[in-house]
Structure 1
Amino acid sequence: MIKLLTNIIFCIVLTFLIFNEAKANYTSVEFQKSLFDIGFKEVNVAIQESKEHFKKDIALPIQIPPVTFTHSFGRLSNLEGDINDGLEIEYRHKDKPKNHYMIWVKPAKHGLSIIEDHIDQTFTLKDGSKAIYSTKKAKGFNLLIFEKDGWQYILNINKDVSDQNTPENLVEIANSVSP
């Protein structure tokens, strides 16, 4: 579990460092290339790779946060063993680094655990399942964590746009996941 947490924190920090340097004159091609260089692909390709890897369909939310994005990317994280494998989808704005939203999906049996100190609120989704909202688990991001159909979903939204993205917005997004 420590290795998983370390990998997640590393990815968040690396992503933040790379894209905090984005300049207003960064072209779409340069921006896209920078993400492709670290393993991201078109979302539909990443979803297909993940379905083949896990041998199971992955339903994604239909809704996204009410923030503008210029790009969306995905990748299958297929690390050593199965415990750290998962699908990552990222939505970004090339000129506004704070407009950053991520969806992580991994088998629930290998999901991220949350300690009580990191829980700000607990919600009940439409299907009766529980969702945990945390502003403390990941530096710079607010998270909504929930499980559906054997998957753990982690919705990550940059704290700098939290005025536009309430926990209730994330719950709406979670409710838009349907197998």
Structure 2
Amino acid sequence: MIKRVSLLIIVFTFMIGSTTYAYNEKPSSDERVPFEKMYFEYGGYKTVEDALSECNRHFRKKITLPFKLPPIPFTHQLARCNQHGGVVNDYFEIEYLNELQGSNNHYMIWVNPSGHRKGFPRKSNVIRIYELENGEKAVYGTTPTLGDRPPAFDVLRFEKNGLQYILSVDKRVEDKVTAYVLVDIANSIK
């Protein structure tokens, strides 16, 4: 019995020592995990082309993306077709990110059929309503405050070609990406 306990203690000590050593090792620069890896592996993201094709088939409608982008740099664009078992809560999502700027340069587009509108931003967070070139209204506002934290994103919601679009950009770049910039991006959808 004592031999077994001693053996277990030795094995357990060896395991702890190995684990501690492994946590203290730093990966070499050759082992750096690509920024987009977690998005592709865990978030279900794909290339924009693949996700767009998937959602076009799913919605049986062609999604047209804006040809303009906010005037801030991006290093990545990732997308996914969110399908939750029906069309009511389904949407196309594209994210533009900059791994060098952290989360500051974060711009998103959500698209879903107009028949399944999202009420975002909430009425209490609406700042102004704009008129697009095609005569449609665009609602500009912010995401809700969370406790004592201020809103994180500026949002523009509008409809074109039977689809609802929601453009969202991090508030930390609102001096560069104003409401007028978002409206200009919305008008670039043909």
TM-score, normalised via structure 2 length: 0.76
CA contact (8 A) 1:89 1:102 kept: yes
Matching of residue 128 in structure 1 with residue 135 in structure 2: yes
Give the length in aligned residue pairs. 153
Alignment correspondent of 2:107: 101
Distance 1:65 1:29, change over 3 A: farther
String of CA shifts for 1:88-141, please: whole Å, max 9, x gaps: 011000121210000000011111114432210000000000000002447411
- Unpaired runs of 5+ residues, structure 2, are 1-28, 146-150
How many percent identity over aligned positions?
A: 41
Matching of residue 159 in structure 1 with residue 171 in structure 2: yes
CA contact (8 A) 1:65 1:165 kept: yes
Higher RCO (CA-CA < 8 Å; seq separation 6+):
1
String of CA shifts for 1:143-164, please: whole Å, max 9, x gaps: 0000011100000000011110
Question: Which letter does structure 2 place at the counterpart of 1:47?
Answer: L
Cα RMSD, aligned residues only = 1.8
Matching of residue 35 in structure 1 with residue 39 in structure 2: yes
**Which stretch shifts more, 113-122 or 51-60?**
113-122
Q: d(CA) in 1 for partners of 2:157 and 2:129?
A: 10
Question: Which letter does structure 2 place at the counterpart of 1:81?
Answer: G
Q: d(CA) in 2 for partners of 1:28 and 1:146?
A: 40
Q: Deviating runs (4+, > 2 A) in structure 1? A: 136-139
- Unpaired runs of 5+ residues, structure 1, are 1-24
Alignment correspondent of 2:6: none
- Larger CA Rg, structure 1 vs 2: 2
